[in-house]
Chain A
Amino acid sequence: MAYKRQIDRLPIIPADAKKHNVTCHYCIVGCGYHAYTWPANKQGGTDAAANVFGVDLSKQQEAETVAWYAPSMYNIVKQNGQDVHIVIKPDRECEVNSGLGSVRGARMGESRFSTARSTQQQRLTDPMVWRYGQMQPTSWDDALDLVARVTAAVVKEQGEDGLFVSMFDHGGSAGGYENTWGTGKLYFGAMKIKNVRIHNRPAYNSEVHATRDMGVGELNNCYEDAELADTIVAVGTNPLETQTNYFLNHWIPNLRGTSVDKKKAQLPDEPHAAARIIIIDPRRTVTVNAAEMEAGKDNVLHLALNSGTDLALFNAIFTHIVEQGWTDKDFIQASTIATGTKRPDLYPARGEADGKPGHLTNFDGAVEGCKISLEEAAKITGLKAEDIAKAAEWIAKPKDGGKRRRTMIGYEKGLIWGNDNYRTNGALVNIALATGNIGRPGGGVVRLGGHQEGYVRPSDAHVGRPAAYVDKLLIEGKGGVHHVWACDHYKTTLNALEFKRNYKHRTDIVKDAMNGVPYGDRDGMVKAILGAIKAGGLFSVDVDIIPSQIGQASHVWLPAAESGEMNLTSMNGERRMRLTERYMDPPGNAKPDCLIAAGLAQHMERVLREMGDAKYADQFKGFDWQTEEDAFKDGYQKHAGGGEFVTYETLRAMGTNGFQEPATAVKDGKIVGTKRLYTDGVFSGEDGKARFMDAPWRGLQAPGKEEQKAKHAFLINNGRTNLVWQNAFLDQDSDFVMDRWPYPFIEMNLDDMASLKLKAGDLVEVFNDAGSTQAMVYPTPTARKGETFMLFAFPTGVQGNVINAGVNELVIPNYKQTWADIRKIADAPEVTRSLTFKSPEYRTS
């Protein structure tokens, strides 16, 4: 039986409830919400005067009403130590979501830590240390002293390269400018840590080096552009599930034709119609279905290419556009470099160096280098030549009256974590540059994003390029201490099983050593740990909001606060910055990451001074922040572009709409932002010019992929699903989510299921030379034979286990091109028996 809450009424928000600005904690879209709180012993009433909506709540409310909230939006939390009711509901006045809440964000309320209602009891409330063979609570000072002593000793002995750091760089959740600055100042300011990686990948690198190298920042347009475009191109993204309210609130109106009036008003000198959309994805997704439903099949071109062949497709589209003369010559002349550069000697097999795997040049150089016929591309991609030509036409053929077509291109993990990331990214940006679709209404070539952003840190130049492949080094036994900030390698890395095996082995060496010393003997304990490290062990410190899977191996857990438990600033996919106000207390003794980093810095300073290294100790000064706002002032205000215009006070006043970064001024108490980048045609290159990329097709680039493909029967495509946020770190404690997905699903073609004798809900093993994992079979009539899609990063079946270690030159993982075999493990277990296995595709008949 489907999970039901058996809740048939909710406390009513009283008229005088406190109202806090909230940006959704989760995906990149950053929908606006408000958190209402009021004392536990009070409630509003149904009379209009007695509730915050001023509405008679004894009546049924209509669709899209503001005067309703779901049980998932409600909870009882602590505020300054007192129990209060809380409702976190979407804000209709926010331009991003216009009152929409997705199945992820609209569960924020229910996903708060509540002792009164027993929700998210998995949250860490105290620092914990390995003591007497298990994790036990301790004080902040005790935990930080242990961490600082071991870290300082290792750094003194091995140098700073002995300290490995995994740290999130995102906004939302427990990220944001305050916290990236706190950790950044510690590891890139006080120290210069080189063996560092980001939460979702094994190195400290950009996922979009190419577009940046070409002078085009990856978040260059605004969400309204999706309402203004003539054509939308969606590459390797499934926005209905992964950028939900951006898609629903800004793409759908254009596909439906309801934004035509807006187009006419803003862009009066050209013809307008409902948008057409090109979706480039080997798999038929709910996005394709919704687009067909709204725009009509004739206006949707789903290019279901062979996995990993995007580069060939983009080059063919680019070539065709050039041959047809559909380029924007004025733009190319004004905004891109005029003179070509010489191809690196070993190109296209290799770039100038691993850190520069492409060839940046002028338009003509790219035309020559990327040239590929429609027929040849059709062969590689498995598409029809005429469909590729059609895509080129939809993107670039001038509209009636010779007006330039406005095309917005959005891409995400299908490209980013796909074959030949650097050149494929470059080849896509080529198309936007050639057609003048950057910095103009209805344009943009943008990554659509996963999580929100909130990055401000001292320079990372010392990390180098390519950056260290940290996970590989850890497997190889390098490093003595590992600080982990809200990263769960066990769930979200490639080659995950191998990583886990080695990591567990190394951290167990330290645990065993710790078991031999009384906890109170600090000197003896540190000595034992250092001895174990010398013997190949690794001391692991995990800063997180919950005991994560990698945390099972750690020796210290430090409890962090989330968005809403602290004031936190982030920006969304159109660079829209907002302040989420603190509306509740963090669980127990948990603290904002920036203040944990500060505490660690202070302990490092003290310990180093005790060790007699005053000079090194001095580097750890400057962390005397009392609040997250202090960290914000120290970081964002001084170091972010336009940061001097931004304060908590003005952000608070700007509510859920905030402003779009970078800030350029303050006018009448309001921050003036930047709606689109590059509107003046000046790009981010030194000379203000953008570059094209000569990016020829070179097959499956990452080591091991061709062999894997030849050896195994099934493509194991993978990614996120609507219901689950990220690696389910909170959702794993949600009955609603785990009832639907007790195991990660694997979508399979029906014939493939028949030949493996599989039924819906059966558990299968997915295995190859890299490792093995499990999933639950979801029959999918639209899945192509031999092609599956598995939910990524799920706790009860880690897809990363079967991703081989091969990465691109810049250490970007390649998740999407993974092949493996499948065999049955067991019949559908009891928990899967009550599940529905119907198609996710909306239907009208």
Chain B
Amino acid sequence: MSKKCEKLVDIGRRQFLRGTGIVAAGGIATTIAPAQSKAATPLARVNYPSSKLGNIKDLKADAPFDVAYPDADAPGVLLKLGKKVPGGAGPDGDVVGFSTICPHKGFPLSYSAADRSFNCPGHYSRFDPEAGGQQIWGQATQNLPQYALRIDDKGDIYAEGVDELLYGRLSNVL
């Protein structure tokens, strides 16, 4: 759980300089591999695992905390924004979680603390974690998938769902 988002940022930069495709996920964030059970009969929506992604104590304001959800191949981050925001969990409503694979073509997003945005080196899309992952500008046809978070009494943070289809999979739970 200690791995920082810098690695994502790094990949973003390298990608940016190199300009050709890379694997978006796999080995980027291997922190959580939640056990999942596949539904026997297909349901209208997929069954999301409830996965513990960290504890509120792990989060520092504006420092992205690497996670993966709903499985190890789906990197994301938790962010503590210090103000109540849409979809924010926790006592202050300021903890959010997002996928960090760009929903356009699957490049890894990097976080800019300077203006609190996710930025994609692929084709310059930008997303706002303070506005439910709304695409500020970009080529993705969806806003950034955000986690449904629950924080229990101990401060443990659980993800229990995602609100858009994740890039690179035709079912959010594989």
Contacts and interface: CB of A to CB of B under 8 A. Distances in A.
Partners in one complex: yes
A90 to B, nearest CB: 10
B46 A63 contact: no
B95 to A, nearest CB: 16
Given A2-B134, A4-B132, A843-B114, A65 B168 contact: yes
A59 interface: yes
Query: Residue among A62, A73, A248, A842 with the most chain B CB within 10 A?
Result: A842
Contact of B134 (A72, A293, A835, A845): A835
A7 B164 contact: yes
- The A interface, classified by DSSP as helix, strand, loop or mixed, is loop
Contact of B117 (A64, A100, A838): A838
B81 to A, nearest CB: 13
B41 to A, nearest CB: 14
Interface string A65-91: 100111111000000000000000000
A286 B132 contact: no
B169 A61 contact: yes
Contact of A843 (B115, B138, B170, B173): B115
Contact of B165 (A2, A58, A70, A102): A70
B112 A256 contact: no
A57 B172 CA distance: 11
B135 to A, nearest CB: 7
Given A2-B86, A63-B106, A842-B124, A722 B137 contact: yes
B106 A845 contact: no
Tell me which of B87, B128, B146, B170 has the highest count of chain A C-beta atoms within 10 A of its own C-beta: B170
Given A63-B105, A71-B164, A740-B135, A4 B112 contact: no
Nearest to B75: A60
A265 interface: no
Contacts of A240: 124
A158 interface: no
A290 B139 CA distance: 14
Contact of A70 (B107, B125, B141): B141
A60 B46 contact: no
A4 B135 contact: no
Interface residues of A, number: 60
Contacts of B73: 59-60
B98 to A, nearest CB: 11
B169 A68 contact: yes
A8 B141 contact: no
Interface in A388-402: none
Given A7-B164, A63-B106, A843-B119, A836 B128 contact: yes
Nearest to B22: A63
Contact of B141 (A2, A107, A836, A842): A107
B103 A256 contact: no
B133 A72 contact: no
B12 A844 contact: yes
B134 A836 contact: yes
Contacts of B123: 100, 248
A834 interface: yes
B134 A63 contact: no
A100 B168 CA distance: 15
B91 interface: no
A844 B110 contact: yes
Most B-side CB within 10 Å, residue of A9, A58, A63, A103: A63
Nearest to A247: B123
A625 to B, nearest CB: 36
Contacts of A835: 131, 134
A103 B102 CA distance: 13
Contact of A4 (B105, B110, B138, B146): B146
Contact of B24 (A62, A258, A836, A842): A62
Contacts of B45: 6, 8-9
Interface string B139-174: 111110110000000000000011111011111111
A258 B122 CA distance: 15
A611 interface: no
A290 B124 contact: yes
A1 B132 contact: yes
Interface string A105-123: 0110010000000000000
A12 interface: yes
A62 B161 CA distance: 22
B13 interface: yes
Contacts of B163: 4-6
Contacts of B22: 62-63
Nearest to B103: A70
B40 interface: no
B132 A9 contact: no
A63 B167 CA distance: 8
A2 B106 contact: no
A333 interface: no
A74 to B, nearest CB: 10
B132 A845 contact: no
Nearest to B169: A60
Interface string A654-680: 000000000000000000000000000
B113 to A, nearest CB: 9
20 contacts: A2-B131, A2-B134, A4-B163, A8-B161, A9-B46, A12-B170, A62-B23, A63-B101, A64-B105, A70-B140, A71-B142, A101-B139, A253-B19, A258-B19, A293-B16, A722-B139, A834-B134, A838-B126, A839-B115, A844-B12
What are the 9 tightest A-B residue pairs by CB atom distance, in nearest-first order? A840-B137, A2-B132, A72-B141, A2-B134, A63-B106, A842-B124, A9-B171, A60-B73, A836-B128
Given A63-B24, A740-B134, A834-B134, 16 more contacts: A2-B86, A4-B146, A5-B142, A5-B163, A6-B164, A8-B164, A9-B45, A46-B170, A63-B122, A100-B123, A722-B138, A836-B128, A838-B116, A844-B110, A844-B112, A844-B119
Interface of B: 12-13, 16, 19-26, 45-46, 48, 73-74, 86-87, 101, 103, 105-108, 110, 112, 114-117, 119-126, 128, 130-143, 145-146, 161-165, 167-174
